[in-house]
Amino acid sequence: MSNQTSAEQPQGCLMSLINFLVRGLMRLFGMGTRGLRASVMPADETYKAYVDAWVSERIATWLHQTRAEINAEEAAKVLNGEGAHLHEVRRLIYETLIDAKVTFFQRDGKQYLEVEAYMAPRQYNGKQPHILRWRAEREIAWQDIPNDVRERLIRLREPVTLGYNVPQ
């Protein structure tokens, strides 16, 4: 016989009452409720979508400028995870995009979003490809920064860099 408490065992009346009171107090003070978390998460996902859309558009434009055969609109769809049927564009992106990163930072009391990407144009002469570095930055509102990044900016007080991956 095991002395471990299993999840299937019913709680006693006293524990249920204490649990109910604690949850009621937490709701009273606006903490720890699923409803509160549910109302915050969609907004954070909206901000992430806003940031992801701008980053994807920038990288798609650079892909087209690096290799003219890459359609910028189709590349943006692939980079946003919407172009599952665009296999040829995805293949060209994987051949061209070497690395990309997104950095959130603060300067002079304002917040900025920077995207930096390294790409290799197609080489026809058999030589080592010349790597191109692309970089763009824009001011971003504090509320448009994803919550987890905002927390890291406050806690670390230094730029927060995130890697960028092409969606599968």
**What digits encode the pLDDT tens for the residues 67-108?**
889 999 999 988 888 877 888 888 898 888 888 999 999 988
Q: Report the domain count for the chain.
A: 1
Using the predicted structure, report yes or no on whether residue 134 has a pLDDT greater than 90. Answer: yes
Averaged over 19-44, what is the pLDDT? 52
- Classify residue 142: in a domain, yes or no: yes
Predicted TM-score (pTM) of this structure: 0.67
Query: Is 163 in a helix, a strand, or coil?
Result: strand
Q: For residue 119, what are the domain limits? A: 42-163
Mean pLDDT computed over 27-32: 55
- Within-domain flag for 50: yes
What is the C-alpha separation between 122 and 136, in angstroms, rounded?
A: 23
Q: Is residue 32 part of a domain?
A: no
pLDDT at position 31: 53
Averaged pLDDT for residues 11-38: 58
Residue 48 within a domain: yes
- 34 pLDDT band, cuts 50/70/90, is very low
Residue 152 lies in a domain: yes
Establish if 25 belongs to a structural domain.
Answer: no
Q: Characterize the bridge pairing of strands 132-140 and 160-163.
A: unpaired
The mean predicted confidence, pLDDT, of the chain is 77
Segments in the chain forming alpha helices (H): 13-28, 34-66, 72-79, 87-96, 147-156
